[in-house]
Chain A
């Protein structure tokens, strides 16, 4: 059934169709509509879930952790300050191998107060052991919730899907809402290998000495690696039932591209139009969308970028003291290659400043006219 809905409501529909069993969430702009619609679904009895209306995001994640450990499919949604408040618990969820799904609406971190989009909130949680998927459209948002459980519950690793504040969260698009029957065919009920069970009592998360800790973390990394293949498989199966797929990355017009622009989130849609326009002018430019950020699709990225002469990375985030986060990761992916490809790292659009087609076009012009970047960070749009 096609409906015109916002990104936030796409999240709610994704959770509804995934038959989540426990929801614990706390309101924050620009996430509120996610929980509002879910509250309605629960109140109407459309969704048979326990909605725990906690007093903070911190407790939201703690509650999801408890519920997941008890064997229930748990869901939450948050943004920026809320995600940051959860930080310790994100480690608990991943370390506890609990396949919770969290929707994070990308919002810039305070101070000063900003409700507009950038990626520093989710990227600051990079090393917590969560998988991360960055979405480009409301359809992808809805689908990624469902895919999220499919992936997470196979590898016992929680998954965060990410969507841009306002650009997706509050913007209505046509979304094909799958039928419950289709989703049920795709996503089986959650039957965890281990759970809190009075008939099979165990202690979870107890004291772990130096003799054991490292192995447990090694296994988490191994399953992260496995998650890459599982995600690809889940995406193919998704296509079979729903007719759509996304990949862990998407190479757009990259075949003969000399310059490849790398993006994530909704900047990707803007970049598509720029690439199309430049292609009309016979410019050999392409676009690489990074959808999955953790695990990082290093091999897939390399296969695409090695064909290019120059690479340009657009970061709507910054690791202070170093640079754009996608930029740094992509550089490291190419390090061991014999072919040396100049990489240009642009930072733009922080705190929700518009990333317009012009801005992206100017970036490409810069790359065309330079053999290598003049600065380690190429700032775009700073008015100082």
Chain B
């Protein structure tokens, strides 16, 4: 029985180097299903620069250009310009970066490209830390999480940066969140992005069992809980103002269900969890307001 109607053609091969249960590997697989073969990918330093495999191998069936850590958006803009001047406007250019490469070191180039409305699809697969270098905090690391640079005694005490709002503030045609736990929704969004001209930014939630200290077979469960608890809601923003909520849980589950599945939150006290719950509730309310505005 088919649960989802996903495009069958695979543009990613088996034999890649991702860890078991890697959300980033799934994210790429789904994204390339949606984009098809007429796609060129550029990847900065991140887990994916390893996952693809060592020279001379590649697990992608489409051309892949490895670029410097902070340059995903600028590299993609360059590829776009190079293709356009040759009349190859129908080829998708995909910038594929981690949260570190997007929220932190690459944000300048990303902001520049978005402001110019470069005709690229920028995907940030978010595993909420620098995983390639061994689980250091990024500005995408959520409040309360352990990483090797935010040890339990000094856990991350600032909220996750709101990259979606930042991108929407550039008034680009399309910004969306997506999750590997909802492949049909993810693929629909990538397909939608493919048919829009300008900068498209898709923020994909991608669990990292190695870094989150959770079970590899829980990747999907955790991804779905992130949506069901409203820790990571799925929504779209068109042209910087039109908010569309994609999934509204009938009953919002308590965040503790989500947190307790991950070792990175093990140290949190009841009180701290309560604080996190409050913050999630507050942000959820704000999001609903934005969505209902329209």
A in complex with B? yes
**Which A residues contact B (CB, under 8 angstroms)?**
21-22, 24, 48-50, 52-56, 58-60, 62-72, 74, 88-89, 92, 196-198, 200-209, 212
List, in ascending order, chain A residues with CB within 8 A of B80's CB: 66
Question: From residue A35, how far is it (CB to closest CB) to chain B in Å?
Answer: 15
Question: From residue A376, how far is it (CB to closest CB) to chain B in Å?
Answer: 38
Which of the residues A21, A88, A198, A204 comes within 8 Å of B62, measured between beta carbons? Answer: A198
Which of the residues B58, B65, B115 comes within 8 Å of A196, measured between beta carbons? Answer: B65
Question: From residue A262, how far is it (CB to closest CB) to chain B in Å?
Answer: 36
List, in ascending order, chain A residues with CB within 8 A of B75's CB: 62-63, 65-66
**CB proximity to A under 8 Å, residues B41-73:** 42, 49-50, 52-55, 57-58, 60-68, 70-71, 73
List, in ascending order, chain B residues with CB within 8 A of A66's CB: 42, 65, 67, 74-82
Docked-complex contact A74 and B82, CB < 8 angstroms:
yes
Question: From residue A108, how far is it (CB to closest CB) to chain B in Å?
Answer: 26
List, in ascending order, chain A residues with CB within 8 A of B52's CB: 203, 206-207
Question: From residue A94, how far is it (CB to closest CB) to chain B in Å?
Answer: 13
Docked-complex contact B79 and A70, CB < 8 angstroms:
yes
Closest 5 pairs (CB-CB, A-B):
A66-B78, A70-B82, A55-B112, A203-B58, A205-B66
B111 CB–A CB distance under 8 Å = yes
List, in ascending order, chain A residues with CB within 8 A of B58's CB: 201-203, 206
Among B52, B73, B75, max chain A CB count under 10 A is at B75
Given A24-B77, A198-B38, 13 additional A-B pairs, CB 8 A: A24-B78, A24-B81, A50-B84, A56-B109, A63-B77, A67-B79, A69-B65, A70-B81, A198-B37, A201-B62, A203-B52, A203-B65, A206-B53
Docked-complex contact B67 and A92, CB < 8 angstroms:
yes
List, in ascending order, chain A residues with CB within 8 A of B111's CB: 55
List, in ascending order, chain B residues with CB within 8 A of A65's CB: 67, 71, 75, 78
Separation of A66 and B118 alpha carbons in the complex (Å): 13
Question: From residue A64, how far is it (CB to closest CB) to chain B in Å?
Answer: 6
Docked-complex contact A21 and B85, CB < 8 angstroms:
yes
**Which B residues contact A (CB, under 8 angstroms)?**
37-40, 42, 49-50, 52-55, 57-58, 60-68, 70-71, 73-86, 91, 108-109, 111-113, 115-116
List, in ascending order, chain B residues with CB within 8 A of A71's CB: 82, 86
Docked-complex contact B60 and A50, CB < 8 angstroms:
no
Docked-complex contact A22 and B81, CB < 8 angstroms:
yes
Docked-complex contact B108 and A55, CB < 8 angstroms:
yes
Docked-complex contact B109 and A67, CB < 8 angstroms:
no
Docked-complex contact A203 and B91, CB < 8 angstroms:
no
Question: From residue B193, how far is it (CB to closest CB) to chain A in Å?
Answer: 18
Docked-complex contact A52 and B86, CB < 8 angstroms:
no
List, in ascending order, chain A residues with CB within 8 A of B39's CB: 198
Question: From residue A78, how far is it (CB to closest CB) to chain B in Å?
Answer: 14
List, in ascending order, chain A residues with CB within 8 A of B61's CB: 201
Which residue of B is nearest A70, CB measured?
Answer: B82
List, in ascending order, chain B residues with CB within 8 A of A48's CB: 85
Docked-complex contact B49 and A64, CB < 8 angstroms:
no
Question: From residue B68, how far is it (CB to closest CB) to chain A in Å?
Answer: 6
Say what secondary structure dominates the interface of chain B: mixed
List, in ascending order, chain A residues with CB within 8 A of B71's CB: 58-59, 62, 65, 89
Docked-complex contact A62 and B65, CB < 8 angstroms:
no
Which residue of B is nearest A200, CB measured?
Answer: B63
Which of the residues A54, A203, A204 comes within 8 Å of B74, measured between beta carbons? Answer: A54
Question: From residue A70, how far is it (CB to closest CB) to chain B in Å?
Answer: 3
Given known A21-B85, A198-B39, contact A203–B68 (CB-CB < 8 A) = no
Given known A63-B75, A70-B40, A198-B91, contact A52–B81 (CB-CB < 8 A) = yes
Question: From residue A307, how far is it (CB to closest CB) to chain B in Å?
Answer: 46
Which residue of A is nearest B37, CB measured?
Answer: A198
List, in ascending order, chain A residues with CB within 8 A of B109's CB: 55-56, 58-59, 62
Docked-complex contact A70 and B54, CB < 8 angstroms:
no
Separation of A259 and B30 alpha carbons in the complex (Å): 71
List, in ascending order, chain B residues with CB within 8 A of A24's CB: 74, 77-78, 81
Docked-complex contact A56 and B112, CB < 8 angstroms:
yes
What are 20 A-B interface contacts by the 8 Å CB criterion?
A21-B82, A22-B78, A24-B74, A24-B78, A58-B71, A58-B74, A63-B77, A63-B78, A63-B81, A66-B65, A69-B78, A74-B78, A88-B68, A89-B71, A200-B63, A203-B60, A206-B52, A207-B49, A207-B53, A207-B54
Which of the residues A52, A62, A72 comes within 8 Å of B68, measured between beta carbons? Answer: A62
Docked-complex contact A50 and B54, CB < 8 angstroms:
no
Separation of A200 and B82 alpha carbons in the complex (Å): 17
List, in ascending order, chain B residues with CB within 8 A of A212's CB: 55
Separation of A92 and B108 alpha carbons in the complex (Å): 19
Separation of A62 and B81 alpha carbons in the complex (Å): 12
Docked-complex contact B60 and A201, CB < 8 angstroms:
yes
List, in ascending order, chain A residues with CB within 8 A of B85's CB: 21-22, 48-50, 67, 72
Separation of A60 and B81 alpha carbons in the complex (Å): 12
Separation of A230 and B125 alpha carbons in the complex (Å): 45
Question: From residue A46, how far is it (CB to closest CB) to chain B in Å?
Answer: 15
List, in ascending order, chain B residues with CB within 8 A of A52's CB: 77-78, 81, 116
Question: From residue B53, how far is it (CB to closest CB) to chain A in Å?
Answer: 7
Which of the residues A50, A55, A64, A196 comes within 8 Å of B63, measured between beta carbons? Answer: A196
Among B61, B63, B115, max chain A CB count under 10 A is at B63
List, in ascending order, chain A residues with CB within 8 A of B78's CB: 22, 24, 52, 62-70, 74
Separation of A49 and B82 alpha carbons in the complex (Å): 9
Separation of A185 and B61 alpha carbons in the complex (Å): 39
List, in ascending order, chain B residues with CB within 8 A of A207's CB: 49-50, 52-55
Separation of A22 and B75 alpha carbons in the complex (Å): 13
Question: From residue A369, how far is it (CB to closest CB) to chain B in Å?
Answer: 52
Which residue of B is nearest A63, CB measured?
Answer: B78
List, in ascending order, chain A residues with CB within 8 A of B49's CB: 206-207
Separation of A65 and B68 alpha carbons in the complex (Å): 10
